[in-house]
């Protein structure tokens, strides 16, 4: 279609989900579709409040601390409450783990799903109006599951769906299902609908693939004095090429994992939050930050590994808030990380 031409056959998330459900025919109960509708509503609500934050005085501290002692922002509290209420209301969720809640929340009823989420990730960026995001993962509970925190202490390979929403210049939703592709949607504020946009829907594939390589790295270099030798060697290798014709990589670090990972997904390169001498287990949480993002990366053709070079998706958290070091991004780049670590064994 030419510039300015109105697209009349757009694929909304609702249409996309309905088509997927129809493809499954009688096997689908519709529960997953309903759950996704609830998820998208929580993203729209959070996006709305973030956009209005400065106007309605929602920025700043809320005066309480979350489980790990961080000061909570007003929007953190609101995002968390929206998420919990929407998940409770949809009737399909039994267990909910949120970064902002110390314990898993168990809902009454016979919901067959467990949700893990970080309702507003990157909240240190909120007051400056910089992009933040919501990360989510979905587990299907076994029929006899009673609904406890143990039900979600599972490796990312067990996730049936995952993704994130980035609240940036526009609101972007990235969604993937087990064994499936990665699809990208943009919220049309006027229509109030997420529209399939990534890549351009006119292309036959309609799926997001991460470029195999790209010279962009994203890491908090302020931690480099705490890095281990292998980690330092890897980042040195991309900053100081060994041949005269080699080009050093560009650095990009927003400090919002969702935004840094989203850019990495779109452009290629690497995002890392390594374990180091100060944060021996890394900073990011396995269940609702690392695993869902790793699933997106892998399903888009990339890779995600821990600081000890294990496949991120195979890590089993002992506790719901456990952390891990992570390296994720383009296939070739993560292979390079593997090689450097092997050398420094
Ligand atoms: P949060 O869940 O408290 O917002 O922390 C997670 C965020 C990530 O979005 C980001 O990648 C990381 O913390 C940035 O940490 P740092 O400021 O140490 O670089
Ligand atoms: Mg977070």
* Closest Cα to atom 2 of ligand 1: 121
Asked if residues 293 and 275 have their Cβ atoms less than 8 Å apart, the reply is: no
Q: Is the model's pLDDT at 127 over the cut of 50?
A: yes
Least confident of 7-11, 43-47, 101-105, 267-271: 7-11
Q: What proportion of the chain, given as a percentage, has pLDDT over 70?
A: 91
Taking the centre of ligand 2 as the mean of its atom positions, its distance from the CA of residue 290, in whole angstroms, is 10
Is-contact 234 336, C-beta < 8 A? yes
Are the C-beta atoms of residues 137 and 175 closer than 8 Å to each other? no
Torsion, CA 95, CA 48, CA 254, CA 311, rounded to 10: 20
Per-residue pLDDT at 72 exceeds 60: no
Total residue count of the chain as it appears in this document: 345
At 12, list the tokens.
């909304």
pLDDT tens, residue by residue, 103-124: 999 999 999 999 999 999 998 8
Residue of 67, 76, 258, 273 to mutate, ligand 1, most atoms within 8 A of C-beta: 273
Which residue, judged by its Cα, is nearest atom 16 of ligand 1?
255
* Cβ neighbours around 117 below 10 Å, total: 29
Can you give the three-state secondary structure of 60-117, one letter per residue?
CEEEEECCCCCEEEHHHHHHHHHHHHHHHHHCCEEEEEECCCCCCEECCCCCCEEEEE
Going by the DSSP 8-state scheme, the letter that residue 4 receives in this structure is: T
User: From ligand 2's centre to the CA of 118, what distance in Å?
Assistant: 6
Q: Is the ipTM of this complex over 0.90?
A: yes
pLDDT digits (tens, 9 = 90+) for 252-269: 999 999 999 999 999 999
Which residues form the pocket of ligand 1, taking CB atoms under 6 Å from any ligand atom?
70, 99, 118, 121-123, 220, 255-257, 273, 283
Q: Position of tokens 């949809």?
A: 90
Q: Which of 268, 253, 274, 272 is nearest to 215 (CA)?
A: 268
pTM: 0.93
φ, ψ at 42 (rounded to 5°) = -65, -35
Q: Which of 61, 77, 256 has most ligand 1 atoms within 8 Å of CB, for mutation?
A: 256
Instruction: Decide: residue 138, CB within 10 A, 0-12 exposed, 13-18 middle, 19+ buried.
Output: buried
Per-residue confidence band for 156, with pLDDT thresholds at 50, 70 and 90: very high
């Amino acid at each position: 279609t030419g510039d300015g031409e109105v697209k009349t056959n757009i694929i909304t998330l609702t249409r996309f989900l309905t088509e997927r459900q129809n493809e499954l025919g009688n096997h689908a109960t519709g529960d997953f579709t309903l759950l996704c509708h609830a998820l998208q509503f929580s993203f729209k609500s959070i996006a709305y409040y973030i956009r209005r934050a400065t106007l309605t005085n929602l920025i700043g501290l809320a005066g309480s601390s979350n489980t790990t002692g961080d000061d909570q922002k007003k929007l953190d509290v609101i995002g968390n409450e929206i998420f919990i209420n929407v998940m409770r209301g949809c009737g399909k969720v039994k267990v909910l783990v949120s970064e902002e809640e110390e314990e898993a929340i168990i809902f009454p009823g016979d919901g067959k799903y467990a949700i893990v989420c970080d309702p507003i990730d990157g909240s240190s960026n909120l007051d400056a109006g910089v992009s933040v995001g919501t990360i989510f993962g979905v587990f299907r509970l076994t029929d006899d599951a009673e609904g406890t925190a143990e039900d979600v202490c599972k490796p990312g390979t067990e996730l049936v769906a995952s993704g994130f929403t980035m609240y940036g210049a526009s609101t972007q939703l990235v969604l993937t299902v087990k064994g499936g592709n990665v699809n990208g949607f943009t919220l049309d504020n006027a229509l109030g609908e997420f529209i399939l946009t990534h890549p351009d829907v006119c292309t036959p594939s309609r799926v997001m693939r991460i470029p195999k390589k790209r010279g962009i790295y994203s890491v908090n270099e302020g931690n480099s004095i705490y890095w281990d030798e292998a980690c330092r060697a890897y980042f040195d290798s991309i900053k100081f090429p060994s041949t005269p014709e080699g080009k050093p990589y560009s650095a990009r670090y927003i400090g919002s994992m969702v935004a840094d990972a989203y850019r990495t997904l779109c452009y290629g390169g690497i995002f890392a939050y390594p374990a180091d001498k100060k944060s021996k287990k890394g900073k990011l949480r396995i269940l609702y930050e690392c695993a869902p993002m790793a699933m997106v990366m892998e399903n888009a053709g990339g890779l995600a590994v821990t600081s000890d070079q294990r496949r991120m998706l195979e890590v089993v958290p002992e506790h719901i808030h456990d952390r891990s070091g992570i390296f994720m991004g383009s296939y070739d780049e993560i292979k390079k990380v593997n090689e450097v670590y092997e050398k420094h064994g």
